[in-house]
Amino acid sequence: MEYVYAALLLHKLDKEVNEANLSSVVKASGAEVNEAQVKSLVAALADVDINEAVKAAPVAVAAAAPAAEAASDAPAKEEKKEEPKNEEAAMEGLSSLFG
């Protein structure tokens, strides 16, 4: 994760995201540098427009949040509707014992 943060920091500062710069930022943070991960990330970001990726990321998260909230609310409402029916049935059962 620190490698991605380092790449974002370099991009934000208009610095080139290359192996040397990425390694420098990770070292400066106090983390141990894994050269294989640095090379892998630089290669993965070679064809990526970071500005577009950053712009697209919050939209996907924001769009997913209402759907997740609606999905989590639906079962809760159904459970609330079933509880009174179960209570009514229980009360009817109790009244038949004493009735």
Whether 28 is in a domain gets the answer yes
CA distance 54 to 11: 11
pLDDT digits (tens, 9 = 90+) for 7-48: 999 999 999 999 999 999 999 999 999 999 999 999 999 988
Whether 39 is in a domain gets the answer yes
Give the rounded distance of the alpha carbon of 48 from its chain centre: 20
pLDDT digits (tens, 9 = 90+) for 47-59: 888 888 888 877 6
Secondary structure letter of residue 30 according to DSSP: T
Instruction: Supply the pLDDT for residue 56.
Output: 84
Whether 96 is in a domain gets the answer no
Distances (CA, A) of 77 to 64, 65, 68, 86: 20, 18, 15, 15
Whether 41 is in a domain gets the answer yes
Secondary structure letter of residue 82 according to DSSP: H
- Tell me the residue range of the domain where 70 lies: 2-74
Whether 8 is in a domain gets the answer yes
Q: What is the DSSP string of 28-40?
A: HTTPPP-HHHHHH
The pTM (predicted TM-score) of the whole model is 0.56
pLDDT digits (tens, 9 = 90+) for 56-95: 877 655 556 666 666 665 555 555 555 556 666 666 665 5
